[in-house]
């Protein structure tokens, strides 16, 4: 195991998570990837390891909405890493629709992943970062967590909750030398936005979110960023 800093990324096998992983790998971070899809996860880890041979890449398949699976995954990485320097709290799902047509089961699946799942991960990693007295937690929220569009109410409610959790956590963790920032992007070029009536080139690119996080990591210790809205230029 080399002495590079370590970043833990949920939902790291594709989309925004993989884009961030690629950026942090370029920055020299060792990576720990968590994803529900085991096959896709191992392919992503292999690709990153082959592209960036000077870093270590570990992965663990887990559903963040299942508390015991999250606990087992975090334990796995904590045993193998001296510190968790960065947490990218990214795993999430998107379902849209008018409230009167939205069934409770689908809404519960949103809450369990986007809200409960995020809490599960944060709770465990925050304790470790308090002990080590350093670290940076990034919550990947959404512009829908700052302002809600029609037919996005169910999804938006989970992202509003994540932004609120992040705002409280930022103040809680400051005395321990730990930073917390919520990233709130609009439409990102991933399979989750494939049905949007926008060309892929006009969407935010996953690597753009990685670059933004890289910039935050390079800030001095005196900088504390609550949340960052990221608009598509074609919609701003």
- 152 catalytic, yes or no? no
**The sheet that has 135-140: what strands, in order across it?**
57-61, 30-35, 6-10, 86-89, 135-140, 178-185, 227-230
Give the whole-angstrom CA distance, residue 30 versus residue 172: 27
Residue 235 pLDDT more than 90? no
Residue 131, SS3 per DSSP: helix
Which of 29, 60, 136, 155 is catalytic? The answer is: 155
Q: How far is CA 177 from the centre of its chain?
A: 20
Per cent of the chain over pLDDT 90 is: 83
Q: What is the pLDDT of residues 103-155, one digit of tens each?
A: 999 999 999 999 999 999 999 999 999 999 999 999 999 999 999 989 999 99
Q: What pLDDT, on a 0 to 100 scale, did the predictor assign at position 232?
A: 85
- Domain segments of the chain: what residues? 6-230
Q: What is the pLDDT of residues 1-32, one digit of tens each?
A: 578 999 999 999 999 999 999 999 999 999 99
Q: What is the pLDDT of residues 184-225, one digit of tens each?
A: 998 786 666 656 666 777 778 889 999 999 999 999 999 999
Mean pLDDT over residues 225-236, rounded? Answer: 84
The DSSP result for 54-95, as a single string, is TS-EEEEE--TTSHHHHHHHHHHHHHH-S---EEEE------
CATH code for the structural domain at 6-230: 3.40.50.720
Phi, psi of 179 (to 5 degrees): -100, 150
């Amino acid at each position: 195991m080399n002495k590079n800093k370590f970043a833990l990324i949920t939902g790291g096998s594709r989309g925004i998570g993989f884009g961030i992983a690629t950026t942090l790998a370029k920055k020299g971070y060792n990576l720990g990837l968590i994803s529900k899809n085991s096959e896709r996860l191992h392919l992503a880890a292999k690709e990153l390891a082959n592209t960036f041979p000077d870093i270590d890449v570990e992965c663990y398949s887990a559903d963040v909405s299942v508390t015991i699976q999250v606990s087992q995954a975090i334990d796995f990485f904590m045993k193998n890493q001296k510190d968790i320097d960065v947490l990218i709290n990214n795993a999430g799902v998107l379902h849209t629709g008018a409230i009167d047509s939205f069934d409770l089961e689908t809404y519960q699946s949103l809450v369990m992943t986007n809200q409960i799942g995020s809490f599960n991960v944060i709770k465990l990693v925050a304790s470790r970062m308090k002990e080590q007295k350093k670290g940076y937690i990034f919550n990947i929220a959404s512009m829908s967590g700052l302002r809600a569009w029609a037919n996005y109410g169910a999804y938006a409610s989970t992202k509003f909750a994540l932004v609120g959790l992040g705002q409280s956590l930022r103040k809680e963790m400051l005395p321990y030398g730990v930073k917390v920032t919520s990233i709130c992007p609009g439409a990102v070029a991933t399979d989750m936005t494939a049905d949007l009536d926008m060309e892929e080139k006009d969407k935010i690119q996953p690597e753009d979110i990685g670059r933004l996080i890289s910039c935050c990591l390079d800030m001095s210790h005196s900088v504390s960023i609550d949340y960052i809205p990221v608009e598509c230029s074609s919609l701003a």
